[in-house]
Structure 1
Amino acid sequence: MAYKSTILITGGTSGLGYHAALDMARACPDSQVIVSSRSDKEQVAASINKMLGQSNVVYVPLDLGDLAKVRAYAKDFAVAQHPPIQALVLNAGLQFPGEVKTTVDGLEATFGINHVGHALLFHLLVPYLADNARVVITSSGTHDPEQWSGMPLPVYTSAEELAYPTTEFTASHSGRQRYTTSKLCNVLWAYALARRLSEQVPARGITVTAMDPGLMPGTGLGREAGTVARFLFSKVMPRTIPLMRVLARTDNIHHPSESGAALARLAVGDDDGVRGVTGKYFEGHREIRSSKDSYDVKKQNDLWQWTVESLSGGDEETRKRFDEFR
């Protein structure tokens, strides 16, 4: 079958990503849906196809913690000649409790996977984005100090410090704080990207939004945590969501299927609340304001410039390509 467009989601084989991929595949049977993550042990693509009686979902492995593999992934995408990307959903995310862990490229792993790997993927796939394509980034309400989550508050010093936390101050941050800071980076980068796309290539109509899926017990986000924490998060908490909402005095606690539907809406929904919307932040289905720090243009520009410079390796021609979206 010749598909009219491509929908690509990272972290699409479990939890939030799986449910979003399922909803997008159901809503867009004439689009190729690519689910990408480090592995697909549950054969998710085949499972979705069987469930829907379709064949438009495929799995393509992607390791965001290895920039060489991200580059290879983008090269393979070009060679495969997929139809233009209508929705690029940058959803994958990890947190690493405890001491600092690094990627194969020497980056602090939370920042490297949740931000840098995704940023590189976007820049490499720009030529294959369709006009009016949507870029959707999964962030988290934990990035906002005004939304109490029980998580440590994010601390944005500089992108360089986050990438290479060698000082006593940043190296001593907890793994959970590195996670909330990476989620702040997701929103900072989303706003910086939306602004540059609107200024440089307005005719392409590419939009960028970020979303907080809420607390979702049962997802694989905490798979790097200890045995007891993993058991509570994956087995106990999913059974007590209604009680948790009452005790926490918030309705922003969801089953992954609920948040997956909200993420799919941002990517492929056709209502006025999402069509043409850019540079905005959503809590599930609702557009809301993000944290005060996320609107700090100096922080946005620091993250943007560091990212482009780092990914280009200092080469001026490569830097222009990463910074101009042509």
Structure 2
Amino acid sequence: MSYSRSILITGGTAGLGYYCTLELARQFPNYQVIIVSRSSSQDAAGSINKILGQNNVNYLRLDLSDLSQIRSFVQQWETNKYPPIQYLLLNAGLQFPGPVEYTVNGYEKTFAINHIGHALLFSLLVPHLAHAARIVVTSSGTHDPAQKTGLPDAKYTSAEELAHPTKITAQNPGRQRYSTSKLANVLWVYALHRRLNESKDARLKSCTVVAFDPGLMPGTGLVREANPVVRFLWHVILPRVIPLLRVLLGTPNIKLPQVSGATLAWLASSKEALLSSGVYYEGREQIRSSEESYDVSKQNDLWDWTVRNVASTEEEVARFSLTD
């Protein structure tokens, strides 16, 4: 079958990403849907195709912590000549609650996976975005201290310090590194929105980007790096007591991944949501993100650091600069 457009979803093999993929594949049987992650032990693509009686979902392996893999992935994308990308969902995310860990490229892992890898992937795929492409970045309410989520407050000093913690900041809790990486997601969305809006390229100017908080979703793969007790509570106990959690934590923003997955699909593709860009959503409601996320100097620090340190050739610099 010949497909007219592509949909690319990182972290699409489980939890939020899986249910989002299921909904988008159902809505767009004429689109090629590509889900990527480090592994797909449950054959997510095959499962979705079987449920829908279709064959438009495919899995490709990608480890966002390894920049060489991202570059190879984009080369593979170009070799396979997939159709233009209509919906790009930068959804994958991890937290490492223990001592600081580093990637093969020498970056702190949380920041590397949740920001750097996605920024490189997006930039290298810029030439393959369709007209009016939609980009959705999965962030989290944990980025905003005012939401009192229970995680340590996000602490953005500079992108350099997040990528290469000092001896002092390397002692920060792993959960704080996570909340700060989610702040970086929002900062990057706002920086990207401005650059798309200012682009002289009509195709890029037509693209939109938003940040998304799916809510707390017990049962997802977010805590796969946690200890066995935490993983048991997260996967087995908490999904069964969501109404109680809402009462105890004083927020309705605790949801099953099936619900948030459908919301993510709506945010990516619905006519109503597509009118928005450069904004932050909690579920289907557009709200203000943290006060810090509107700091243009921090948005620019993150953007400029990423270009300087991640783009490795003149061609990559051009793609980061949205001129290719």
TM-score, L = length of structure 2: 0.97
Other-structure match for 1:116: 116
Question: Distance between the aligned counterparts of 2:83 and 2:36, measured in 1?
Answer: 17
Deviation of 1:316 (Å): 5.0
Q: Secondary structure at the match of 1:60?
A: strand
Other-structure match for 1:82: 82
Other-structure match for 2:44: 44
Other-structure match for 1:324: 322
Question: Distance between the aligned counterparts of 2:147 and 2:174, measured in 1?
Answer: 19
Instruction: Read off the aligned partner of 2:45 and give its amino acid letter.
Output: A
Kindly indicate whether residue 173 of structure 2 is the aligned counterpart of residue 191 of structure 1. no
Question: Distance between the aligned counterparts of 2:214 and 2:66, measured in 1?
Answer: 26
Instruction: Read off the aligned partner of 1:218 and give its amino acid letter.
Output: G
After TM superposition, list the pairs within 5 Å mapping 1:127-166 onto structure 2.
127-166=127-166
Other-structure match for 2:19: 19
Q: Secondary structure at the match of 2:61?
A: coil
Kindly indicate whether residue 60 of structure 2 is the aligned counterpart of residue 54 of structure 1. no
Q: Secondary structure at the match of 2:172?
A: coil
Deviation of 1:31 (Å): 0.5
Other-structure match for 1:223: 224
Kindly indicate whether residue 282 of structure 2 is the aligned counterpart of residue 283 of structure 1. yes
Deviation of 1:311 (Å): 1.5
Residue range with higher mean Cα deviation, 241-250 or 96-105: 241-250
Deviation of 1:200 (Å): 1.1
**RMSD of aligned Cα (Å):** 1.1
CA contact (8 A) 1:197 1:325 kept: no
Kindly indicate whether residue 114 of structure 2 is the aligned counterpart of residue 94 of structure 1. no
Question: Distance between the aligned counterparts of 1:149 and 1:55, measured in 2?
Answer: 40
Kindly indicate whether residue 260 of structure 2 is the aligned counterpart of residue 262 of structure 1. no
Instruction: Read off the aligned partner of 2:81 and give its amino acid letter.
Output: Q
Count residues in correspondence: 322
Q: Secondary structure at the match of 1:215?
A: coil
Residues 282/253 of structure 1: CA separation in 2 closer, same or farther (3 Å cut): same
Instruction: Read off the aligned partner of 2:48 and give its amino acid letter.
Output: I
CA contact (8 A) 2:124 2:319 kept: no
After TM superposition, list the pairs within 5 Å mapping 1:284-303 onto structure 2.
284-303=283-302
Q: Secondary structure at the match of 2:120?
A: helix
Deviation of 1:322 (Å): 1.7
After TM superposition, list the pairs within 5 Å mapping 1:176-187 onto structure 2.
176-187=175-186
Q: Secondary structure at the match of 1:176?
A: helix
Deviation of 1:276 (Å): 2.9
Question: Distance between the aligned counterparts of 2:249 and 2:280, measured in 1?
Answer: 22
CA contact (8 A) 1:127 1:325 kept: no
Deviation of 1:66 (Å): 0.4
Question: Distance between the aligned counterparts of 1:312 and 1:51, measured in 2?
Answer: 40
Q: Secondary structure at the match of 2:6?
A: strand
Deviation of 1:243 (Å): 1.1
Deviation of 1:275 (Å): 1.6
CA contact (8 A) 2:134 2:274 kept: no
Deviation of 1:20 (Å): 0.6
Q: Secondary structure at the match of 2:241?
A: helix
